[in-house]
């Protein structure tokens, strides 16, 4: 039993890869987690999820271009073209959304207030949440780390 645990732990770590470009973002998201999560047990997961720019791995889905993706065992892929033209606000919301999938195991939440204000950063597409996140960051961070 112990051996099995050690082997799977090594495999998991061996597979995790964070592009150094994202180190500061990873640190920031972990800080948010430690500040907002009532149960900080999942916060360590944030540093164990792989993250990198996509290399032709992001698929196009009908008329909806996928700009980032969380593959459960493979981590987060970000479309570099989208990233480069995005503001820091959009980037932060995008990463929070993807870590919501990959580290917190949350799915999408399409609920809205008044028909247009997303109730969660897990709203898809994540960019729709950005301007509301800017105004009500506390609410969205609390919902992300404690909701779902």
Binding site for Zn ion (CB under 5 A): 124
Cα separation, 121 vs 19, whole angstroms = 24
Identify which of residues 22 and 129 has a Cβ nearer to Zn ion in the complex: 129
- Tell me the closest approach of the beta carbon of residue 64 to Zn ion, in angstroms: 11
Identify which of residues 112 and 124 has a Cβ nearer to Zn ion in the complex: 124
Structure tokens at 39: 């149960």
Identify which of residues 43 and 102 has a Cβ nearer to Zn ion in the complex: 102
- Tell me the closest approach of the beta carbon of residue 91 to Zn ion, in angstroms: 15
Classified as helix, coil or strand, 60 is strand
- Tell me the closest approach of the beta carbon of residue 79 to Zn ion, in angstroms: 13
Virtual CA dihedral for 51, 37, 131, 126, nearest 10 degrees? 40
């Amino acid at each position: 039993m112990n051996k099995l645990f050690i082997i799977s732990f090594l495999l998991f770590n061996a597979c995790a890869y964070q592009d150094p470009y994202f180190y500061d973002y990873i640190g920031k998201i972990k800080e948010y987690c430690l500040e907002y999560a009532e149960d900080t047990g999942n916060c360590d997961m944030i540093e164990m999820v792989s993250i990198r720019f996509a290399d032709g791995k992001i698929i196009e889905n009908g008329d909806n271009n996928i700009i980032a993706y969380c593959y459960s065992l493979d981590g987060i892929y970000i479309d570099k073209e989208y990233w480069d033209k995005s503001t820091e606000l959009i980037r932060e919301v995008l990463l929070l959304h993807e870590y919501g999938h990959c580290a917190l195991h949350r799915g999408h939440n399409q609920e809205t207030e008044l028909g247009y204000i997303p109730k969660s950063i897990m709203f898809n597409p994540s960019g729709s949440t950005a301007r509301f996140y800017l105004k009500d960051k506390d609410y969205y961070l609390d919902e992300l780390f404690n909701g779902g």
